Amino acid sequence: MKALLLIDLQNDFLPGGALAVPQGDAVIPLANALQPQFDLVVATQDWHPANHKSFASQHAGKKVFEVTQLHGLDQVLWPDHCVQGTAGAEFSAALAMHQVEAIFRKGTNPKIDSYSGFYDNGHLKSTALAEYLRGRGITEVYLLGLAADFCVYFTALDALQEGFAVYYIEDATRAIDQEGFAKAKADLLAKGGHFVQSQDLLK
Ligand code: VGL
Ligand code: ZN
């Protein structure tokens, strides 16, 4: 059984949003077209409290996109984004939601960031996404969404570690940083991940 994971298709990652990914809106029509091809569709939602420590605003004297240490890990400091209850945290109004059976929220602990839909960045706490997918008989996980080099990448990495066959739908993602994406792709390929195009799945 195949699952499609829609990663963080939220207003703040789309043009006009607080942490807009260039051309992020281009992936929404693909997300909508691909859903009927799958046995299960699940979405992740970045869902931060206003005082989240991944926000540059929470660190006096630090700037957005500067790297600092958080929980012993390198942490990029982001603009405030996907704050719980704000319009920026909502899914795009253009995203079809009728096939989405579950939403996994992440980034709720103010002390640690959480790029993956499976675990926080320190692998301290699970969202139980892996157990949910296994409980639904899923063996293959397909990923799309934003951002290609952060949340899609780290979710794919954890999916591989959890033993799923992983298919990264490359043209249905957009990156914050192209160089970062090239590294992420090489890493996923080295670990057994597959890269596919949406056209291959829509045939
Ligand atoms: C993301 C940075 C911070 C993402 C989330 O969805 O890729 N990136 N929070
Ligand atoms: Zn975030």
The answer to the question of residue 44 being in a domain is: yes
pLDDT of residue 203: 82
pTM over 0.95: yes
36 C-alpha to ligand 1 centroid (Å):
26
Helix (H), strand (E), coil (C) string for 148-183: CCCHHHHHHHHHHHCCCEEEEEEEEEECCCHHHHHH
- In the residue annotation, 106 being an active-site residue is answered as yes
The answer to the question of residue 26 being in a domain is: yes
Tell me which residue range forms the domain holding 40.
2-48+81-202
Look at the chain and report how many structural domains it folds into: 1
The answer to the question of residue 76 being in a domain is: no
The answer to the question of residue 66 being in a domain is: no
The answer to the question of residue 55 being in a domain is: no
- Copy the structure tokens of residue 184: 């992420």
Which residues in the chain land under pLDDT 50?
none
The answer to the question of residue 73 being in a domain is: no
The CATH number of whichever domain residue 15 belongs to comes to 3.40.50.850
Ligand nearest to the CA of 44: 1
The answer to the question of residue 75 being in a domain is: no
- In the residue annotation, 8 being an active-site residue is answered as yes
pLDDT of residue 30: 98
Closest CA to ligand 1's atom 2: 150
Pocket test for ligand 1, best of 9, 21, 66, 78 (most atoms within 8 A of CB): 78
C-beta of residue 115 within 8 angstroms of C-beta of residue 56: no
